[in-house]
């Protein structure tokens, strides 16, 4: 295939490959890094890529048109019934008539094969991180194992009272509290026969039998065993101590002993640490937690994902005054009880989350000179990168079954799921992969997917490995879909309405009925408060009790702590119990969370606006000005929340809904945005790279982006924030080439 460099009319150098015009930065990445890593022919790659784009771009475009047409019909239906009493049956008939709600077909079971146990059979925490941040990406990948002592000592799970405060040096009183907490955990997960782990003076191996057994000597001289001896599965013997390996609820626990260790010498049984198998899976994100608006940004995303797959990614950082290099962890090796070598994965199983079907990328222009759809670009490039995992020299496999796991967000209904299935099949054909090598995760975060979830699953039943729920995006779509139905309740009240609990239960119910138990993950959403780990420990177990086999956490520390919940709840048994319950109420799911604004005081309305506006600005200012797509953003009270783009969707749609229904005014909202901009400026005052918004609102692109999100929210397709954000970020990066006219904005 002929390749040449040409100069476009807009003076942007592009490489012409066949009928494609490729950004040179992206072209060089593919030619110099990606294709050599997988030993793939350049001409075959570009020819197949072009054919795929030619065939699937029109289909993608038509599906987006269907989204918009359905929304127009729903808006018109609500407008025509303005002031009428809500009639659920009439609404369902309408949605069915326009093809929004599809009658489910006969029951079926997914047939996905070649799935790694981390997804199919092991229930555990799941991390989600922006893949363009190498340090975050590596930390998450290495969070498969975590120190329980460190997680407890460094978090608020252990109260800072009675001399237990954290400081610059080790606090023995705090350490003693950590040990007491850890002993309580061991007594629940690995109970000894007629004794507590707190009574142990020595853990040892009994080598007399045909297979090695585990023994504990108590303070009173007695020797006891585990209540369930089969939980002991392996060990290591070191010069200074032992590591004892256990398996409970399909997760490993490692007890490390060392009588000379600063902690171990004072701990029962000389336990110097307890290491938990924690982040079983990690989603390396190309989407909501990433700010990638052009070809250069996309290459940074892809280069890190390729580095993870090649096991070559590194991150240099400073810790305790020393420079260190972070790399992927090696596998962990033990001696099994039968004397054989036992090797366990040292890293989390990695999935990659693609961009949804809406956005386009300037990395490649098609034969018509138009940007190609970003989901197509992601599917091809991330899959090609993943092939490198089987070719890398360090032999640190990601999927031991040879599968490639791609999570697809923001799909609307079965037709879009079927399109994803076709896209993945075409990528497999292009890259010469066996059918269904590419596995798919379906994010249930759009209402048309929720109400048609069974048929969405049917469309990908041979490659499905994951479904999940998420409050923020799902509520954002709920508000936008029902924008003209009436004013919405305040956000905190929306969380308590029947639709949200029905939605959460529906996802689990449909997943179990479609045979996901033992074959695929059923997930629940993120804990957003990385500093409030005690609150997480008090509440997040409910997601497992609701049937989730994985739930999202914001940090390796959170993953280690959350892992304890999986030793309390046997998720597979819980799913078996749930299987016989009545299906969640579709009527509740299809009842919008409408409120009566006359019951709200002026103060309550202003407080809600303050909360929404501050959350939007706090996230947008980093996204636009610094290109940060995921970070710990202070909320209005100063508490740090791990935010991604979904927070913008729900908050902007909520304000727009109240504007539309005269709960507030444009003047009040704009005044609120300006006032909250000042608060956000102060919250970021210690950041030397921060650009203040309140000094000049008209000149602040970040502030104008926030105004766009609010005042143009109703006209955005499905309430998505990406088109406006991308335009403003591109303006920030290239102010002279951007054609945006600030004077047209509110």
What CATH number does residue 413 fall under?
Answer: 3.20.20.360
Global pTM value? 0.96
640 neighbors 529 (Cβ within 8 angstroms): yes
In this structure, are residues 478 and 498 in contact, taking their beta carbons and an 8 Å threshold? Answer: no
3-state secondary structure of 319: strand
Q: Would you state the pLDDT for residue 562?
A: 98
> Is the CB of residue 280 less than 8 Å from the CB of residue 125?
yes
**Is 63 among the domain residues?**
no
Site of tokens 């600030």? 742
Are 638 and 670 part of one and the same domain? yes
Q: How far is CA 533 from CA 180, 252, 274, 539, 565, in A?
A: 17, 22, 18, 10, 13
Residue 511 inside a domain? The answer is yes
Following DSSP, what letter does each residue of 415-464 receive, concatenated? HHHHHHHHHHHHHHHHHTPPTT-EEEEEEE-SHHHHHTHHHHHHHTTTTE
Domain range for 437: 88-144+280-333+345-589
- Write down which residue in 277, 304, 321 finishes a domain: 277
Q: Mapping DSSP to helix (H, G, I), strand (E, B) and coil, where does residue 583 land?
A: coil
Residue of 14, 67, 353, 448 marked active site: 353
* Judgement on whether residues 365 and 487 belong to the same structural domain of the protein: yes
Q: Residues 569-575: contacts with CB within 8 Å, 24+ apart?
A: 569/249, 569/541, 569/544, 569/545, 570/249, 571/123, 571/249, 571/544, 571/547, 572/121, 572/123, 572/517, 572/518, 574/544, 574/545, 574/547, 575/508, 575/512, 575/517, 575/522, 575/547, 575/549
d(CA 636, CA 680): 8
Q: Which of 537, 560, 589 is the last residue of a domain?
A: 589
pLDDT of residue 600: 97
Q: What is the CATH number of the domain that holds 633?
A: 1.20.1220.12
Q: Which of 644, 649, 681, 708 is catalytic?
A: 644
Q: What is the pLDDT of residue 328?
A: 96
Q: Is 353 a catalytic residue?
A: yes
- Best CA proximity match to 447, nearest among 506, 494, 525, 392: 506
* Tally of domains within the chain: 3
Under-70 pLDDT residues of the chain: 1-12, 209, 393, 737-746
The span from the CA of 604 to the CA of 566, in Å, is 39
pLDDT at 743: 42
Residue 679 shares a structural domain with residue 690: yes
Asked if residue 306 and residue 350 are part of one domain, the reply reads yes
Are residues 316 and 329 part of one domain? yes
Strand order in the sheet with 341-344: 145-147, 271-277, 251-257, 241-248, 232-238, 332-336, 341-344
Q: Report d(CA 549, CA 468) in Å as an integer.
A: 10
Domain assignment present for residue 28? The answer is: no
Verify that 444 and 477 share a domain, yes or no.
yes
Catalytic residue status for 265: no
Going by C-alpha positions, the residue among 629, 566, 561, 521 that lies closest to residue 189 is 566
């Amino acid at each position: 295939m002929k390749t040449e460099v040409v100069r476009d009319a807009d003076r942007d150098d592009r490489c012409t490959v066949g009928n494609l015009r490729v950004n040179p930065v992206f072209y060089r990445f593919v030619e110099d890094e990606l294709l050599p890593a997988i030993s793939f022919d350049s001409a075959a790659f570009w020819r197949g890529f072009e054919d795929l784009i030619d065939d699937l771009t029109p289909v993608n475009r038509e599906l987006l048109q269907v989204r918009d047409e359905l929304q127009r019909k729903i808006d018109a239906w609500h407008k025509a019934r303005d002031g009428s009493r809500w009639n659920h049956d009439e609404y369902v008939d309408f949605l069915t008539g326009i093809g929004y709600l599809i009658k489910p077909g006969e029951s079926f079971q997914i047939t996905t094969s070649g799935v790694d146990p981390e997804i199919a059979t092991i229930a555990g925490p799941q991390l989600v991180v922006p893949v363009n941040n190498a340090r975050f990406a590596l930390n998450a990948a290495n969070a498969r194992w975590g120190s329980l002592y460190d997680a407890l000592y460094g978090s608020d799970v252990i109260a800072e009272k009675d001399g237990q405060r954290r400081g610059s040096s080790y606090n023995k009183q705090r350490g003693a509290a950590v040990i007491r907490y850890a002993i309580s955990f061991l007594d629940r997960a690995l109970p000894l026969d007629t004794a507590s782990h707190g009574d142990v003076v020595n853990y040892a191996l009994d080598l007399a039998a045909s297979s090695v057994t585990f023994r504990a000597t108590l303070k009173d001289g007695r020797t006891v065993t585990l209540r369930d001896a089969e939980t002991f599965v392996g060990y290591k013997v070191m010069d200074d101590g032992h590591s004892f390996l256990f398996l409970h609820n399909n997760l490993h626990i490692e007890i490390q002993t060392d009588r000379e260790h600063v902690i171990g010498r004072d701990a029962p049984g000389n336990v110097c640490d307890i290491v938990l198998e924690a982040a079983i899976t990690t989603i390396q994100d190309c989407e909501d937690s990433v700010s990638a608006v052009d070809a250069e940004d996309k290459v940074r995303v892809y280069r890190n994902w390729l580095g993870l797959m090649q096991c070559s990614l590194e991150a240099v950082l400073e810790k305790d005054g020393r420079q260190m290099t972070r790399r992927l962890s090696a596998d962990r090796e033990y001696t099994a009880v039968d004397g054989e070598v036992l090797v366990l994965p040292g890293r989390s199983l990695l999935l990659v989350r693609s961009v949804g079907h809406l956005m386009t990328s300037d990395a490649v222009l098609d034969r018509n000179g138009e940007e190609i759809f970003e989901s197509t670009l992601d599917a091809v490039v991330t899959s090609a990168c993943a092939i490198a995992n089987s070719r890398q020299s360090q032999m640190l496999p990601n999927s031991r079954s040879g599968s490639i796991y791609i999570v697809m967000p923001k799909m609307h209904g079965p037709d879009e799921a079927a399109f994803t299935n076709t896209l993945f099949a075409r990528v497999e054909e292009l890259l010469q992969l066996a059918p269904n090598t590419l596995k798919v995760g379906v994010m249930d975060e759009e209402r048309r997917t929720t109400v048609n979830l069974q048929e969405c699953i049917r469309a990908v039943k041979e490659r499905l490995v994951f479904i999940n729920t998420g409050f923020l995006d799902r509520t954002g779509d709920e508000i936008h879909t029902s924008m003209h139905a009436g004013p919405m309740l305040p956000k905190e009240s929306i969380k308590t309405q029947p639709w949200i609990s029905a939605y959460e239960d529906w996802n689990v119910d449909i997943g179990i009925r479609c045979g996901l138990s033992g074959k695929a993950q059923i997930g629940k959403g993120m804990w957003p408060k990385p500093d409030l780990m005690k609150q997480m420990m008090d509440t997040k177990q409910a997601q497992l009790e609701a049937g989730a086999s994985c739930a999202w956490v914001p940090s390796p520390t959170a993953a280690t702590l959350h892992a304890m919940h999986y030793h309390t709840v046997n998720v597979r048994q819980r799913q078996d119990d749930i299987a016989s319950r009545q299906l969640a109420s579709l009527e509740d799911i299809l009842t919008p969370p409408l409120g009566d604004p006359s019951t709200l005081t002026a103060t309550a309305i202003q407080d809600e606006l303050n909360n929404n506006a501050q959350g939007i600005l706090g996230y947008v200012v980093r996204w636009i000005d610094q290109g940060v797509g995921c970070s710990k953003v202070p909320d209005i009270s100063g508490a740090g929340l791990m935010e991604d783009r979904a927070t913008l969707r729900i908050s902007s749609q909520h304000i727009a809904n109240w504007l539309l229904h005269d709960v507030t005014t444009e003047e009040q909202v704009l005044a609120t945005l300006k006032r909250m901009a000042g608060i956000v400026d102060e919250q970021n005052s210690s950041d030397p790279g921060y650009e203040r918004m309140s000094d000049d609102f008209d000149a602040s692109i970040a502030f104008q982006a926030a105004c766009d999100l609010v005042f143009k929210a109703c006209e955005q397709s499905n309430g998505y924030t990406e088109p406006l954000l991308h335009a403003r970020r591109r303006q920030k990066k290239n102010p002279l080439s951007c054609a945006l006219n600030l004077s047209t904005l509110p």
